[in-house]
Amino acid sequence: MASLGVRPVLPPPLTSISDPPPLFDGTTRLYISYSCPYAQRVWIARNYKGLQDKINLVPINLQDRPAWYKEKVYPENKVPSLEHNGKVLGESLDLIKYVDANFEGTPLFPSDPAKKEFGEQLISHVDTFSKDLFVSLKGDAVQQASPAFEYLENALGKFDDGPFLLGQFSLVDIAYIPFVERFQIVFAEVFKHDITEGRPKLATWFEELNKLNAYTETRVDPQEIVDLFKKRFLFVITDQYDIMTNMVLLSYLNYVISLRPPPLTSTSDPPPLFDGTTRLYISYSCPYAQRVWITRNYKGLQDKIKLVPIDLQDRPAWYKEKVYPENKVPSLEHNGKVLGESLDLIKYVDVNFEGTPLVPSDPAKKEFGEHLISHVDTFNKDLNSSLKGDPVQQASPSFEYLENALGKFDDGPFLLGQFSLVDIAYIPFIERYQIVFAELFKQDIAEGRPKLAAWIEEVNKIDAYTQTKNDPQEIADKYKKRLLVPNIFLNSDPWIVAGFL
């Protein structure tokens, strides 16, 4: 494994107990996370232009971020952001261009028209490039990632006056390298594949980039990347169950791209309630809330329905008093009222908001869909009950029920052929049971059930779902912890057990 480039001494990340810097005092600050590839882009640009004394680096701990960062600095509550001239700007590709245009130092975009045009084309493609690589991890990674790496190899041959994407080092290299760095490490360590093999220009590009202190000072420790990967994705690999690799790898995309805002706690102020904003109150770990979150995402309502995560272990008093007296999630604040119950809410969101319909118009499908949704509580109750005895044997009828249901319509891999509210009703629980059965009982729930295997595979291609997925290790750890108190499974309310899962 390649060693980490020499870094200067860096300040520790600020946490929830850290005081803010003296904001808007004329100092230019770049807020980053050391592990974030988006922030790394702007960090590299700042370093390359020699702006270390002009732009202060302010690292944030994204797992324990300070409340003042969202409240006083950047309402989006993610990194990177740049505090400059009394305002705060965000979005990494915009920021690297902003730093290049508004600060002194070596220009990072060429004046040559042909290079400028090709550079803009490459930058406009970088999100597609990264997404294609992440998607490749769901199948034969080495084979499916090959076109993306060939794209880079071909792009590196466009100009012959230097080893970089536009010949000389530029914003284009900065846009790509944080992601290629991570994929190079994961492909080498996990898939035993050198992405530069047979790609001499890509190999040279890496070699030359690693001569630039502006980049090497920002590099992620390769061992940390591998350890993170193993912790999150490889904790349940057995001869029978390597579907976990495929299922969970896409969660790495979410970890890198979806920097979720921290949940509100008992010390958090309420949002400006009933101000006309539509809010979906959730817990990241709650399968019921996940249903509505998936629906909101699939219909493209991210800008219409604001996500408000709640810490259920330390929930704010105002949530019960002013928002939802039931004091549970999910709930939806819309048009001056608050609604609850996940199955009701997914139907409500589908009917009352624009976007792709999630209930088919075909009468036979509608009827079967209602039947499946009416059965989901029984399905979960039966699986929970199975955990009290011989889980593999006793859970089999429930998984067979899904396998048979998936054979009802042949016009697609989902429960009604095409993706619908029915899939959304079931998948948060299947996600959890698949992990628990694999980790604790060494059982692949899709073994011998090809339709269920195909369903899980197809659902994991849908960003609206994968953006909501849970950390499998956390699910497994939580279940193990709860299993130490076996009487929990004697509780007459099976939903409590489901909540633990």
Q: Give per-residue pLDDT as tens, 291-328.
A: 999 999 999 999 999 999 999 989 999 999 999 999 99
Q: What is the pLDDT of residue 229?
A: 60
At residue 20 the predicted structure's pLDDT band, cuts being 50, 70 and 90, is very high
Q: What pLDDT, on the 0 to 100 scale, is given for residue 466? A: 84
pLDDT at 247: 36
Q: Are 44 and 181 in contact (CB under 8 A)?
A: no
Mean of the pLDDT values across residues 451-474? 86
Question: Which residue from 306, 330, 320, 255 is spatially nearest to 499, judged by alpha carbons?
Answer: 330
Residue 332: exposure state from Cβ atoms within 10 A (0-12, 13-18, ≥19): buried
Cβ-proximal residues to 442 (8 Å cutoff; 6+ apart), any chain = 238, 240, 241
Please, what is the average pLDDT of the chain?
87
Domains, the chain, with CATH or none? 1-108 (3.40.30.10), 113-232 (1.20.1050.10), 278-352 (3.40.30.10), 363-500 (1.20.1050.10)
Q: What is the DSSP string of 300-328?
A: T-TTTEEEEEB-TTS--HHIIIII-TT--
Q: How confident is the model at residue 89 (pLDDT cuts 50, 70, 90)?
A: very high
The answer to whether residue 501 scores a pLDDT higher than 90 is no
Strands (DSSP E) found in 244-360: 278-282, 305-309, 331-334, 337-340
User: For position 494, what pLDDT does the model report?
Assistant: 39
- Note if the pTM is more than 0.85: no
Reference 299, options 449, 463, 461, 176; nearest CA is: 463
Mean pLDDT of 419-423: 97
In this model, does residue 275 exceed pLDDT 70? yes
Q: How confident is the model at residue 488 (pLDDT cuts 50, 70, 90)?
A: very low
Binned at pLDDT 50, 70 and 90, residue 130 comes out as confident
Binned at pLDDT 50, 70 and 90, residue 224 comes out as: confident
Check pLDDT > 70 for residue 154: yes
Q: In angstroms, rounded to a whole number, what is the distance separating the alpha carbons of residues 434 and 402?
A: 13
Is pLDDT of 467 > 50? yes
